[in-house]
Structure 1
Amino acid sequence: MVTGEQTAGRYCLIDMRVPPNGGPPPHRHDFEEMFTVLDGAVEFTFRGEQITARAGETVNIPANAPHFFRNSFDQPARLLCMCTPAGQDEYFLRVGDRVDGPTSPPPALTEEEQAERRHRAAELAAEYRSELLVP
């Protein structure tokens, strides 16, 4: 929605669509991240504590805090994610797959394609000041 390029790198604002069972693996990064749930619900695990955030609620993740989230529900969720400073917007563009529009379903990826995306995410993480906390 708002790129780091538009804010001179101060922040970015990302519109996230999270399908059922979707979400990132455990990770941490040296930038602040704030999520506001617009639709649905998402379970966040932050410093070992799990909370469920529902539409209208906001969760702030301080820099360097281990965390992850999962849509453990059977309905898609929509989140706004603000990162300060920016950079996560570029990471997602390099790791993910473009879709036709904001309501388009995620691409149907084969097991091999999913493994390639996970590999790419891990390979690029350090370049974007992130660390994936998975083996």
Structure 2
Amino acid sequence: MTIPLDDPERRLVVASKNSENAEHLALAGGIYTILVSGEQTNGRYTLIEMRVPPNGGPPPHRHDFEEMFTLLEGELEFTFRGERVRVRAGETVNVPANAPHFFRNVSDEPARMLCMCAPAGQEEYFRQVADPVDRADSAPPVLTEQEQRERRAKGKELAAKYRTEIL
């Protein structure tokens, strides 16, 4: 086996949620910070920090890419193919491509986790459907019921473009 030559066009990435270049998005009741984007990994993966408030989380969905979550703080309940699993800080969950799943913060405290999607692209979907905020610890904007309906409709409308199905 021959290992390809180093690509000098690729750069070392050092990411911090506190960097002035960090991108923070309010989505599904939480704040998602894109730490490493597909642009930085040549499309191989994206890494996103997710801050999930009590009762927060996405709707049931599935997509054709792998997704891995490492819980840093708090406790979440993942529903995978209809089966519920409690996950606590220090644990990692891998969701295979195409499998129906979602998560919910079932505790009274915020949860924080890292989410890696491979290949990249999920961050592009988030950029299209989320509301930008200033910092990782920002409160999500308070949306009217009409604005919430509009965000859900936009998410459903764009899902297929980003290889996702909202269930």
Shorter chain as denominator, the TM-score bin is over 0.9
* Distance (whole Å) between structure 2 residues aligned to residue 38 and residue 94 of structure 1: 26
The unaligned stretches of length 5 or more in structure 2 are: 1-34
Quote the residue 1:92 is aligned against: 126
Equivalent-residue separation in structure 2 for 1:118 and 1:32 (angstroms): 23
Gaps of 5+ in 1: none
- % identical aligned pairs: 71
- Indicate the SS of the match to 2:132: coil
Instruction: Point out 4+ residue stretches in structure 1 off by more than 4 angstroms.
Output: none
Structure 2 length-normalised TM: 0.78
Letter in 2 for 1:125: A
Question: What's the Cα RMSD here?
Answer: 0.7
Paired residues in the alignment total 133
**Corresponding residue to 1:120 among 129, 132, 154:** 154
Q: 1:18-97, aligned counterparts within 5 Å?
A: 18-97=52-131
Measured against aligned partners, the alpha-carbon deviations of 1:18-39 in whole angstroms (never above 9, x if no partner) come to 1111111111000000001111
Give the distance between the partners of 1:110 and 1:121, measured in 2 at CA.
17
Q: Secondary structure at the match of 1:98?
A: strand
Higher relative contact order (CA 8 A, sep 6+): 1
1:13 pairs, out of 22, 47, 52, with 47
TM-score, normalised to structure 1, is: 0.96
Structure-2 separation of matches of 1:17 and 1:116? 22
How far, CA to CA, are the matches of 1:37 and 1:107 in structure 2? 24
Higher percent of residues as helix: 1
